[in-house]
């Protein structure tokens, strides 16, 4: 194109609109990817914190009462343990009053 030709205004507008739409879609994609990454990291942190809280309460109960807590409900009632029952399944298996119980935390799938 030289300086004496008229630019095709419709084509230039269409190209700039396409660029804007593609740029917007790319920004939304990066934003959604970031949210998904942060969300999965947060769920893992919640599980780790719950595991630490349960073990802290188990040790605290043993130090105070001289025995490990018989059930997870016992720790909820007497030691203030709270967690989201809809999000996590806690398998608490006691072996004896003087042997530390096995604790397994399973994250329930979303509904």
The domain segmentation of the chain, as residue ranges, is 9-107
Number of Cβ atoms within 10 Å of the Cβ of 87: 14
How do the pLDDT tens digits run along the chain, 111 residues long? Answer: 566 666 666 666 666 777 788 889 999 999 999 888 877 777 788 999 999 999 999 999 999 999 999 999 999 999 999 999 999 999 999 988 789 999 999 988 765
């Amino acid at each position: 194109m030289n300086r004496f030709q008229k630019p095709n205004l419709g084509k230039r507008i269409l190209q700039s609109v396409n660029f804007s739409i593609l740029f917007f879609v790319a920004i939304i994609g990066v934003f959604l990817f970031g949210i998904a990454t942060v969300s999965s990291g947060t769920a893992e942190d919640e599980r780790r914190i719950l595991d630490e809280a349960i073990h802290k309460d188990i040790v605290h109960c043993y130090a105070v009462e001289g025995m490990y807590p018989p059930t997870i409900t016992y720790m909820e009632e007497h030691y203030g343990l709270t967690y989201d029952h809809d999000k996590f399944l806690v398998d608490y298996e006691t072996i004896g009053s003087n042997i530390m119980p096995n604790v397994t935390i399973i994250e329930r799938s979303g509904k």
